[in-house]
Amino acid sequence: MKRILVTGAGGQIGVELVPYLRSRYGAENVLATARKPLSGPVGEGGPFALLDVRDGNAFAALAQSFGADSILHLAGVLSAKGESDPRASWDINVVGSTTALEVARECGAAFFFPSSIAAFGPSTPSKNTPQDTIQRPTTIYGVAKVTLELLCDYYHRKFGLDTRGLRFPGLISYEALPGGGTTDYAVHIYYDAVRKGRYTSFIAAGTYMDMMYMPDALAAVVQLMEADPSKLVHRNAFNISAMSFDPEEIAGSIRKFLPGFILDYNVDPLRQSIAESWPDSLDCTAAREEWGFAPEYDLDRMTEDMLARVREKEGLPPA
Protein backbone atom coordinates (compact mmCIF):
# COMPACT_ATOMS: atom_id res chain seq x y z
CA MET A 1 0.00 0.00 0.00
CA LYS A 2 1.34 3.42 -1.00
CA ARG A 3 -1.71 5.56 -1.82
CA ILE A 4 -4.68 4.54 0.30
CA LEU A 5 -8.31 5.69 0.06
CA VAL A 6 -10.46 4.93 3.12
CA THR A 7 -14.26 5.09 2.99
CA GLY A 8 -16.39 5.38 6.12
CA ALA A 9 -13.53 7.16 7.87
CA GLY A 10 -15.80 8.55 10.58
CA GLY A 11 -16.88 5.11 11.84
CA GLN A 12 -15.57 3.12 14.77
CA ILE A 13 -12.75 1.53 12.78
CA GLY A 14 -12.01 4.48 10.51
CA VAL A 15 -11.37 7.03 13.24
CA GLU A 16 -8.48 4.90 14.46
CA LEU A 17 -7.38 3.20 11.25
CA VAL A 18 -6.82 6.46 9.34
CA PRO A 19 -4.33 7.94 11.86
CA TYR A 20 -2.68 4.51 12.17
CA LEU A 21 -2.19 4.30 8.39
CA ARG A 22 -0.95 7.90 8.19
CA SER A 23 1.66 7.19 10.85
CA ARG A 24 2.92 4.23 8.80
CA TYR A 25 2.64 5.47 5.21
CA GLY A 26 2.70 9.26 5.57
CA ALA A 27 -0.27 11.54 6.12
CA GLU A 28 -0.27 12.73 2.51
CA ASN A 29 -0.71 9.14 1.26
CA VAL A 30 -3.97 8.36 3.09
CA LEU A 31 -7.17 9.96 1.82
CA ALA A 32 -10.02 9.77 4.34
CA THR A 33 -13.58 10.04 3.04
CA ALA A 34 -17.00 10.27 4.68
CA ARG A 35 -20.50 11.51 3.92
CA LYS A 36 -20.17 14.36 6.42
CA PRO A 37 -17.29 16.70 7.33
CA LEU A 38 -15.03 15.37 10.08
CA SER A 39 -12.92 17.29 12.55
CA GLY A 40 -9.93 16.07 14.52
CA PRO A 41 -7.13 13.80 13.29
CA VAL A 42 -9.19 12.12 10.54
CA GLY A 43 -10.59 15.24 8.89
CA GLU A 44 -7.68 17.56 9.60
CA GLY A 45 -4.61 15.31 9.86
CA GLY A 46 -4.30 14.63 6.13
CA PRO A 47 -6.27 14.62 2.89
CA PHE A 48 -10.04 14.44 3.35
CA ALA A 49 -12.98 14.45 0.91
CA LEU A 50 -16.73 14.12 1.13
CA LEU A 51 -18.03 10.98 -0.57
CA ASP A 52 -21.26 9.02 -0.83
CA VAL A 53 -20.00 5.56 -1.74
CA ARG A 54 -23.09 4.90 -3.89
CA ASP A 55 -22.03 7.68 -6.30
CA GLY A 56 -19.84 5.70 -8.68
CA ASN A 57 -18.79 8.64 -10.85
CA ALA A 58 -17.67 10.77 -7.90
CA PHE A 59 -16.01 7.76 -6.27
CA ALA A 60 -14.06 6.85 -9.42
CA ALA A 61 -12.98 10.43 -10.07
CA LEU A 62 -11.73 10.79 -6.50
CA ALA A 63 -9.81 7.50 -6.56
CA GLN A 64 -8.23 8.32 -9.92
CA SER A 65 -7.24 11.88 -9.03
CA PHE A 66 -5.68 10.68 -5.77
CA GLY A 67 -3.89 7.83 -7.53
CA ALA A 68 -5.22 5.24 -5.10
CA ASP A 69 -3.52 1.86 -5.21
CA SER A 70 -5.57 0.52 -2.28
CA ILE A 71 -9.20 1.08 -1.28
CA LEU A 72 -10.13 0.18 2.29
CA HIS A 73 -13.91 0.16 2.18
CA LEU A 74 -15.29 0.64 5.71
CA ALA A 75 -18.54 2.48 4.99
CA GLY A 76 -21.64 0.66 6.25
CA VAL A 77 -24.64 0.50 8.58
CA LEU A 78 -24.23 -1.69 11.68
CA SER A 79 -26.30 -4.69 12.78
CA ALA A 80 -28.98 -3.45 15.20
CA LYS A 81 -29.34 -0.11 13.41
CA GLY A 82 -29.74 -1.93 10.10
CA GLU A 83 -32.77 -3.85 11.38
CA SER A 84 -34.69 -0.59 11.81
CA ASP A 85 -34.40 0.17 8.08
CA PRO A 86 -33.36 -2.92 6.09
CA ARG A 87 -33.77 -1.26 2.69
CA ALA A 88 -31.44 1.63 3.56
CA SER A 89 -29.00 -0.82 5.09
CA TRP A 90 -28.93 -2.89 1.88
CA ASP A 91 -28.53 0.24 -0.21
CA ILE A 92 -25.41 1.36 1.66
CA ASN A 93 -23.93 -2.00 2.63
CA VAL A 94 -24.41 -3.80 -0.70
CA VAL A 95 -25.01 -1.20 -3.41
CA GLY A 96 -22.32 1.07 -1.98
CA SER A 97 -19.88 -1.80 -1.57
CA THR A 98 -20.49 -3.07 -5.10
CA THR A 99 -19.77 0.44 -6.35
CA ALA A 100 -16.53 0.42 -4.36
CA LEU A 101 -15.53 -2.90 -5.92
CA GLU A 102 -16.17 -1.52 -9.39
CA VAL A 103 -14.05 1.55 -8.67
CA ALA A 104 -11.22 -0.66 -7.40
CA ARG A 105 -11.45 -2.76 -10.59
CA GLU A 106 -11.37 0.32 -12.82
CA CYS A 107 -8.38 1.76 -10.96
CA GLY A 108 -6.53 -1.53 -10.51
CA ALA A 109 -6.45 -0.90 -6.75
CA ALA A 110 -6.25 -3.54 -4.05
CA PHE A 111 -9.52 -3.80 -2.13
CA PHE A 112 -10.14 -4.44 1.58
CA PHE A 113 -13.59 -5.27 2.93
CA PRO A 114 -14.47 -5.77 6.61
CA SER A 115 -16.84 -8.66 7.09
CA SER A 116 -18.13 -9.71 10.51
CA ILE A 117 -19.20 -12.58 12.74
CA ALA A 118 -22.69 -11.38 11.71
CA ALA A 119 -22.10 -13.30 8.47
CA PHE A 120 -22.88 -16.45 10.45
CA GLY A 121 -26.26 -17.54 11.78
CA PRO A 122 -27.98 -19.92 14.21
CA SER A 123 -27.29 -22.95 11.98
CA THR A 124 -23.54 -22.24 11.98
CA PRO A 125 -21.51 -24.35 14.47
CA SER A 126 -21.22 -22.03 17.47
CA LYS A 127 -18.10 -23.46 19.10
CA ASN A 128 -14.75 -23.05 17.36
CA THR A 129 -16.63 -21.93 14.24
CA PRO A 130 -14.72 -23.12 11.14
CA GLN A 131 -13.29 -20.77 8.53
CA ASP A 132 -15.42 -22.47 5.88
CA THR A 133 -18.88 -23.38 7.16
CA ILE A 134 -22.60 -22.83 6.63
CA GLN A 135 -23.61 -19.15 6.61
CA ARG A 136 -27.31 -18.39 6.98
CA PRO A 137 -27.48 -15.05 8.85
CA THR A 138 -30.77 -13.73 10.20
CA THR A 139 -30.09 -9.97 9.94
CA ILE A 140 -29.92 -7.73 6.88
CA TYR A 141 -26.44 -6.72 8.06
CA GLY A 142 -25.33 -10.35 8.03
CA VAL A 143 -26.95 -11.04 4.66
CA ALA A 144 -25.07 -8.05 3.23
CA LYS A 145 -21.78 -9.29 4.69
CA VAL A 146 -22.18 -12.75 3.12
CA THR A 147 -23.10 -11.12 -0.18
CA LEU A 148 -19.93 -9.04 -0.18
CA GLU A 149 -17.75 -11.96 0.90
CA LEU A 150 -18.95 -13.81 -2.19
CA LEU A 151 -18.65 -10.76 -4.43
CA CYS A 152 -15.06 -10.18 -3.32
CA ASP A 153 -14.24 -13.79 -4.18
CA TYR A 154 -15.99 -13.36 -7.52
CA TYR A 155 -14.11 -10.17 -8.41
CA HIS A 156 -10.83 -11.89 -7.60
CA ARG A 157 -11.62 -14.93 -9.77
CA LYS A 158 -13.31 -13.03 -12.60
CA PHE A 159 -11.15 -9.93 -12.87
CA GLY A 160 -8.01 -10.77 -10.91
CA LEU A 161 -8.78 -7.99 -8.42
CA ASP A 162 -6.62 -8.17 -5.30
CA THR A 163 -9.45 -8.46 -2.75
CA ARG A 164 -8.78 -9.19 0.91
CA GLY A 165 -10.96 -9.15 4.00
CA LEU A 166 -11.43 -10.01 7.66
CA ARG A 167 -14.42 -11.30 9.61
CA PHE A 168 -14.18 -8.92 12.54
CA PRO A 169 -15.52 -9.89 15.94
CA GLY A 170 -16.82 -7.22 18.30
CA LEU A 171 -14.26 -4.41 18.35
CA ILE A 172 -13.50 -2.60 21.60
CA SER A 173 -12.08 0.92 21.50
CA TYR A 174 -11.78 3.98 23.73
CA GLU A 175 -11.57 6.44 20.83
CA ALA A 176 -15.13 6.35 19.52
CA LEU A 177 -18.34 4.91 20.89
CA PRO A 178 -19.90 2.49 18.37
CA GLY A 179 -23.18 3.31 16.73
CA GLY A 180 -25.84 0.62 16.65
CA GLY A 181 -23.95 -2.65 16.95
CA THR A 182 -24.85 -5.75 18.96
CA THR A 183 -21.42 -5.93 20.61
CA ASP A 184 -21.63 -2.28 21.76
CA TYR A 185 -22.08 -3.31 25.39
CA ALA A 186 -18.43 -4.35 25.58
CA VAL A 187 -17.41 -0.73 24.93
CA HIS A 188 -20.10 1.02 26.95
CA ILE A 189 -19.34 -1.08 30.02
CA TYR A 190 -15.90 0.51 30.40
CA TYR A 191 -17.23 4.05 30.12
CA ASP A 192 -19.94 3.43 32.70
CA ALA A 193 -17.47 1.63 34.98
CA VAL A 194 -15.35 4.79 35.06
CA ARG A 195 -18.22 7.28 35.13
CA LYS A 196 -20.71 5.51 37.41
CA GLY A 197 -19.10 2.41 38.89
CA ARG A 198 -21.92 0.30 37.44
CA TYR A 199 -23.38 -0.79 34.11
CA THR A 200 -26.74 -2.11 32.90
CA SER A 201 -26.16 -4.65 30.12
CA PHE A 202 -28.57 -5.08 27.22
CA ILE A 203 -26.97 -8.50 26.56
CA ALA A 204 -27.85 -11.36 28.91
CA ALA A 205 -25.44 -13.19 31.19
CA GLY A 206 -24.00 -16.31 29.60
CA THR A 207 -24.06 -14.83 26.07
CA TYR A 208 -20.61 -15.35 24.61
CA MET A 209 -19.31 -13.38 21.62
CA ASP A 210 -15.88 -13.04 20.07
CA MET A 211 -14.10 -9.75 20.71
CA MET A 212 -10.87 -7.93 19.88
CA TYR A 213 -9.13 -4.80 21.13
CA MET A 214 -8.80 -2.17 18.41
CA PRO A 215 -4.97 -2.05 18.34
CA ASP A 216 -4.96 -5.73 17.32
CA ALA A 217 -7.62 -5.08 14.66
CA LEU A 218 -5.64 -2.22 13.11
CA ALA A 219 -2.49 -4.30 13.01
CA ALA A 220 -4.42 -7.18 11.40
CA VAL A 221 -5.69 -4.97 8.56
CA VAL A 222 -2.17 -3.84 7.64
CA GLN A 223 -0.67 -7.28 8.11
CA LEU A 224 -3.22 -8.86 5.78
CA MET A 225 -2.89 -6.14 3.12
CA GLU A 226 0.90 -6.50 3.15
CA ALA A 227 0.85 -10.32 3.14
CA ASP A 228 2.38 -12.30 0.27
CA PRO A 229 -0.61 -12.98 -2.04
CA SER A 230 0.82 -16.37 -3.03
CA LYS A 231 0.26 -17.58 0.55
CA LEU A 232 -3.39 -16.51 0.74
CA VAL A 233 -5.63 -19.50 0.20
CA HIS A 234 -8.81 -17.76 1.34
CA ARG A 235 -8.05 -14.07 0.69
CA ASN A 236 -11.45 -12.84 1.92
CA ALA A 237 -13.33 -13.16 5.18
CA PHE A 238 -10.62 -14.59 7.42
CA ASN A 239 -11.92 -15.50 10.87
CA ILE A 240 -10.05 -13.41 13.45
CA SER A 241 -10.60 -13.06 17.19
CA ALA A 242 -8.60 -12.44 20.33
CA MET A 243 -11.03 -13.49 23.07
CA SER A 244 -14.55 -14.71 23.77
CA PHE A 245 -16.45 -13.68 26.90
CA ASP A 246 -19.91 -12.98 28.31
CA PRO A 247 -20.95 -9.89 30.32
CA GLU A 248 -20.14 -11.59 33.64
CA GLU A 249 -16.56 -12.30 32.56
CA ILE A 250 -15.86 -8.78 31.39
CA ALA A 251 -17.36 -7.49 34.66
CA GLY A 252 -15.05 -9.83 36.56
CA SER A 253 -12.08 -8.44 34.70
CA ILE A 254 -13.14 -4.87 35.51
CA ARG A 255 -13.46 -5.76 39.22
CA LYS A 256 -9.77 -6.68 39.27
CA PHE A 257 -9.13 -2.95 38.82
CA LEU A 258 -12.38 -1.46 40.21
CA PRO A 259 -13.46 -3.86 42.98
CA GLY A 260 -16.78 -2.14 43.65
CA PHE A 261 -18.05 -2.35 40.08
CA ILE A 262 -21.71 -3.44 39.78
CA LEU A 263 -23.27 -5.17 36.76
CA ASP A 264 -27.01 -5.57 36.26
CA TYR A 265 -29.24 -6.31 33.28
CA ASN A 266 -32.03 -4.89 31.14
CA VAL A 267 -31.90 -7.19 28.13
CA ASP A 268 -32.81 -5.76 24.72
CA PRO A 269 -34.75 -8.53 22.89
CA LEU A 270 -33.58 -7.44 19.44
CA ARG A 271 -29.87 -7.31 20.18
CA GLN A 272 -30.09 -10.40 22.36
CA SER A 273 -31.67 -12.39 19.52
CA ILE A 274 -28.94 -11.17 17.16
CA ALA A 275 -26.20 -12.13 19.63
CA GLU A 276 -27.67 -15.61 20.07
CA SER A 277 -27.51 -16.16 16.31
CA TRP A 278 -23.76 -15.53 16.24
CA PRO A 279 -20.91 -17.92 17.15
CA ASP A 280 -19.48 -18.20 20.66
CA SER A 281 -15.91 -18.65 19.43
CA LEU A 282 -14.07 -18.69 16.10
CA ASP A 283 -11.39 -20.96 14.66
CA CYS A 284 -8.68 -18.56 13.46
CA THR A 285 -6.28 -21.20 12.14
CA ALA A 286 -6.42 -19.98 8.53
CA ALA A 287 -5.45 -16.42 9.49
CA ARG A 288 -2.57 -17.67 11.65
CA GLU A 289 -1.22 -20.04 9.01
CA GLU A 290 -1.72 -17.92 5.88
CA TRP A 291 -0.50 -14.52 7.09
CA GLY A 292 0.67 -14.85 10.70
CA PHE A 293 -2.26 -13.41 12.65
CA ALA A 294 -1.27 -13.13 16.34
CA PRO A 295 -3.24 -10.74 18.61
CA GLU A 296 -1.42 -9.27 21.60
CA TYR A 297 -4.28 -8.37 23.97
CA ASP A 298 -6.20 -10.77 26.20
CA LEU A 299 -9.19 -9.70 28.33
CA ASP A 300 -7.32 -8.48 31.42
CA ARG A 301 -4.62 -6.63 29.47
CA MET A 302 -7.32 -4.95 27.38
CA THR A 303 -9.35 -4.05 30.48
CA GLU A 304 -6.38 -2.44 32.21
CA ASP A 305 -5.60 -0.32 29.16
CA MET A 306 -9.24 0.55 28.41
CA LEU A 307 -9.91 1.77 31.95
CA ALA A 308 -6.76 3.89 31.95
CA ARG A 309 -7.54 5.37 28.52
CA VAL A 310 -11.16 6.12 29.39
CA ARG A 311 -10.12 7.84 32.63
CA GLU A 312 -7.67 9.95 30.66
CA LYS A 313 -10.31 10.76 28.05
CA GLU A 314 -12.78 11.75 30.80
CA GLY A 315 -10.18 14.07 32.37
CA LEU A 316 -9.83 11.94 35.51
CA PRO A 317 -6.56 11.24 37.36
CA PRO A 318 -5.04 7.75 37.08
CA ALA A 319 -6.62 5.20 39.41
Q: pLDDT digit string (tens) for 189-221?
A: 999 999 999 999 999 999 999 999 999 999 999
pLDDT-wise least confident of 25-29, 74-78, 293-297 = 74-78
Is the pLDDT at 140 greater than 70, yes or no?
yes
Does residue 117 lie within any of the structural domains? Answer: yes
State the pLDDT at residue 219: 98
Q: In 3D, which of 197, 178, 177, 212 has the Cα closest to residue 263?
A: 197
Catalytic position from the list 20, 25, 141, 154: 141
Is the pLDDT at 315 greater than 70, yes or no?
yes
pLDDT-wise least confident of 13-27, 156-170, 172-186, 304-318 = 172-186
CATH code for the domain of 133: 3.40.50.720
Confidence band of 278 (pLDDT split at 50, 70, 90): confident
Q: Are residues 192 and 93 in the same domain?
A: no
CA 189 to chain centre: 18
pLDDT-above-90 percentage for the chain: 86
Q: Are residues 115 and 42 in the same domain?
A: yes
Q: Are residues 27 and 49 in the same domain?
A: yes
| Alpha-carbon distance values, 88 to 82, 94, 95, 289, 299 (Å) | 8, 10, 10, 38, 35
Q: Are residues 109 and 198 in the same domain?
A: no
Q: Are residues 59 and 150 in the same domain?
A: yes
Does residue 305 lie within any of the structural domains? Answer: yes
State the pLDDT at residue 79: 65
Q: Are residues 149 and 250 in the same domain?
A: no
The pTM assigned to this predicted structure is 0.93
Helix (H, G, I), strand (E, B) or coil at 49: strand
- Answer yes or no: 20 catalytic: no
State the pLDDT at residue 269: 93
Specify whether the CB–CB gap between 166 and 224 falls below 8 A. yes
For the chain, count helices (H), then strands (E): 13, 12
Q: Are residues 49 and 89 in the same domain?
A: yes
Confidence band of 181 (pLDDT split at 50, 70, 90): confident
Mean pLDDT of 137-152: 94
Is the pLDDT at 80 greater than 80, yes or no?
no
Is the pLDDT at 265 greater than 80, yes or no?
yes
Q: Are residues 92 and 198 in the same domain?
A: no
Q: Give CA–CA dist 182/118, Å, rounded.
A: 9
State the pLDDT at residue 184: 87
Overall domain count for the chain: 2
Burial of 2 (0-12, 13-18, 19+ CB in 10 A): exposed
Is the pLDDT at 279 greater than 80, yes or no?
yes
**Residue range of the domain that includes 303:** 173-210+243-278+296-313
Confidence band of 10 (pLDDT split at 50, 70, 90): very high
Confidence band of 180 (pLDDT split at 50, 70, 90): low
pLDDT-wise least confident of 34-48, 91-105, 167-181, 246-260 = 167-181
Confidence band of 12 (pLDDT split at 50, 70, 90): confident
Q: Give CA–CA dist 260/189, Å, rounded.
A: 14
